[in-house]
Copies of this chain bind each other. A is one copy, B any other.
Amino acid sequence: MIQNYNSKKLYERLPIYVHFLNSIQESNISSTTISKSLNLGEVQVRKDLALVSGKGRPKIGYSTKNLFKAIKKYMGMNHASKAIIVGFGKLGKALYDYAGFSELGIDIVQAFDISNTTDFVKDIKELDSYCLENEILFGILTVPSTEAQATAEKLIRCGIVGIWNFTSVRLNVPSHVVIQNENLAASLSVLVKSTLDKKVGNDYEKSNETNDSYTSKKH
Residue of B nearest to A160 (CB): B195
User: Do A189 and B106 contact each other (CB < 8 Å), given the known contacts A5-B197, A162-B195, A175-B216?
Assistant: yes
Chain B nearest CB, measured from A219 CB (Å): 8
| Given A89-B94, A138-B188; 20 other pairs, CB 8 A cutoff | A12-B189, A14-B189, A16-B168, A37-B170, A75-B193, A77-B189, A90-B93, A90-B94, A95-B184, A98-B184, A104-B185, A106-B188, A140-B188, A162-B191, A164-B187, A164-B188, A176-B198, A178-B198, A180-B187, A180-B190
Of B16, B106, B175, which is within 8 A of A192 by CB? B106
Contact of B191 with A180 in the complex, beta carbons under 8 Å = yes
Binary contact readout A154-183 vs B (1 if CB under 8 angstroms, 0 otherwise): 000000011110001010100110101011
User: Does A150 count as interface, using CB distance less than 8 angstroms?
Assistant: no
Closest 6 CB pairs of A and B: A162-B195, A100-B185, A180-B191, A90-B94, A15-B186, A91-B94
Residue of B nearest to A202 (CB): B176
C-alpha spacing A119/B187, complex, angstroms: 28
Of B90, B91, B194, which is within 8 A of A180 by CB? B194
Chain B nearest CB, measured from A175 CB (Å): 6
User: Could you say which residues of chain B place their CB within 8 Å of the CB of A161?
Assistant: 195, 198-199
User: Does A50 count as interface, using CB distance less than 8 angstroms?
Assistant: no
Could you write out 20 A-B pairs with CB less than 8 Å apart?
A5-B201, A8-B194, A11-B189, A11-B190, A11-B193, A12-B187, A16-B168, A75-B189, A75-B193, A79-B196, A90-B97, A98-B184, A100-B185, A106-B185, A106-B189, A161-B195, A161-B199, A164-B191, A180-B190, A182-B187
Contact of A15 with B138 in the complex, beta carbons under 8 Å = no
Contact of A194 with B11 in the complex, beta carbons under 8 Å = yes
